[in-house]
Amino acid sequence: MLLTLKMEAALNQDRTHFTHQEDYLVAQAAMFELTGIESCAMTMTFALYELAKQPLLQARLRAEIRQTLGEALDITYDKVQGMHYLAMIVDETLRKYPNVPILERECTPINKKRFVALRPYADCFVRRGMPVYISNLAIHHDPQYWPEPSRFDPERFSPENRKLHMPMSYLPFGAGPHNCIGMAIAQVQIKLGLIHFLRTHRVEICEKTVDNIEFDRKFLLLSNQSDIYLSVERCL
C-alpha cells in the first residue's frame, strides 16, 4: 500500500492540495498509532478475558496452537491461516467487541439524485451529503441477527454457521470500498499476539476480574472503562 501511494505521489505533480501544518501531520501519525496498535491490543485483551472465563475454549485453542506449531520456532503465514479455531475466536471477539463501535459514512446517491428513499425498511429519505452513522456495536448485539448476543460463542463463525449470517450483520471493519484498509494486517497482528502468548501461557479469572466489561464512552475506539485483571500462568 505504501509503495502504491509513493508511486501515485510521484505521478501527481500538482501539490497545491498538500498541507504542511504540524497539527495535521501529528494527527495522521496518531491515527496510525491508534488504529494500528491500540485497536489490536484491545482486541487481544478482550479475547483473553473471554478465554479466561471459558477454560474449555482456551484449552481447545491452545491445543490447536501446539498441534500446528509443534516444536518449531518459526511461525509462518500459512500456519497462522491454518488455525481455523483461532480465526473463529478472533471473529467472535470482534463481533462482541468491535474496535470502532460507530461507522461514519456520507450519503452519495447514484444518478445525481438529491435523495435516497429507505423504503421498505423505513418511511424516510436521506438527502445527498447527509452524514450517516451506523452503530455496528448495536448490530452485533441485535438478537435478530445474533441469538444470545452477550454470550461469547466462537461456533457462530464455524464454516457451517457462517453461511447463515445475514448480509451486513457483521461489520467490525466496515464494508464496501471504504472499509478498513488495515483489516488484513490487523487480523494477522491479533492472531500472532494470541499465538505467542497462549503458546506458553494460560489465563484465568481472579478475584479482581470484573463480571462484565463497561466501556469508556469518551474514547474513540471501544475500550474498557476500568482495568481488566487476569491471572497468568506460564506453562511450557
> Crossing angle for the helix pair 183-198 and 84-96, nearest 10 degrees?
110
Q: Using the Cα atoms of residue 185, residue 48, residue 60 and residue 94 in order, give the sign of their dihedral.
A: negative
Grid coordinates representing 54 are: 471459558
Q: Which residues are annotated as a binding site for heme?
A: 180
Report the distance separating Cα 39 and Cα 100, nearest Å: 9
Is it true that the peptide bond before 143 is cis, omega within 30 degrees of 0?
Answer: no
Buried b (16+ CB within 10 A) or exposed e, 119-156: eeeeeeebeeeeeeebebbebbeeeebbeebeebbbeb
Report the distance separating Cα 211 and Cα 141, nearest Å: 18
Report the distance separating Cα 4 and Cα 10, nearest Å: 10
First to last CA, the chain: 38
Q: Which residues are annotated as a binding site?
A: 180
Buried b (16+ CB within 10 A) or exposed e, 199-221: eeebbebeeeeeeebeeeeeeeb
